[in-house]
């Protein structure tokens, strides 16, 4: 198993537990605070990574340092990383968690269609767009007869145009380029 896969598994596990307890945002904030603490005190990570120090001592230090203002979930997670000898991945886990979960809000998508779509087709379009964008999306559907077939999706400032109108416009631009040269 690659290091990236291991990191992702721990991040997903942490996120699932945090969501189950109703506090993913709080959990991410706590991870960020742990990262700042480790950056301010690098000897802390050296202590946790030291193979000579028994896990019980590391657990005691976690209980001492993180007793006030930190959830039981975070303390349990850090202890679990120590028990599994994965505490050395902590900073990578924190970075990955932030990248994958800190911006979980849905992006709005304007989906222009030339004819009404059934729910199954809209669901498939949404899933494909989410894969391309890498975020959860919320669709707003607009019926636009000017498309003359196909669809057009606008996500932020990105336009995915799979309409006949878009294809004709692209063809027109290519022909204009040829004419100018």
Cα separation, 112 vs 143, whole angstroms: 6
Q: 112: left (phi > 0), else alpha (psi -120 to 50), else beta?
A: beta
Q: For residues 90 and 38, is the Cβ–Cβ distance under 8 A?
A: yes
Predicted pLDDT at 13 = 87
Cα separation, 157 vs 137, whole angstroms: 14
CA dihedral 107, 9, 124, 129 (to 10 degrees): 40
| Residue in this structure with the two tokens 């063809």, named with its chain if needed | 171
**Angle of the 72-83 helix axis to the 3-20 helix axis, nearest 10:** 150
Predicted pLDDT at 113 = 87
User: Which pTM was predicted?
Assistant: 0.57
Per CATH, the number for 3-101 is 1.10.520
Predicted pLDDT at 106 = 67
Domain spans of the chain, in order of start: 3-101, 107-180
Residues of the chain short of pLDDT 70, as ranges, are 1, 22, 102-106, 134-135, 156-157, 166, 179-181
């Amino acid at each position: 198993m690659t290091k990236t896969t291991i990191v992702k598994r721990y991040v997903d596990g942490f996120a699932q537990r945090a969501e189950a307890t109703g506090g993913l945002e709080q959990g991410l904030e706590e991870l960020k605070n742990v990262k700042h603490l480790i950056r301010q005190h690098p000897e802390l990570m050296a202590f946790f990574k030291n193979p000579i120090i028994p896990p019980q001592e590391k657990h005691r230090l976690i209980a001492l340092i993180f007793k006030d203002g930190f959830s039981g979930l975070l303390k349990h997670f850090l202890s679990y990383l120590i028990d599994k000898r994965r505490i050395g991945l902590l900073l990578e886990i924190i970075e990955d968690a932030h990248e994958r979960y800190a911006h979980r809000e849905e992006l709005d998508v304007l989906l222009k269609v030339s004819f009404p779509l059934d729910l199954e087709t809209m669901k498939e379009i949404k899933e494909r767009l989410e894969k391309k964008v890498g975020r959860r999306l919320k669709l707003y559907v607009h019926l636009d007869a000017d498309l003359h077939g196909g669809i057009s999706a606008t996500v932020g400032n990105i336009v995915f145009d799979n309409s006949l109108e878009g294809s004709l416009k692209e063809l027109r631009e290519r022909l204009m380029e040829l004419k100018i040269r």
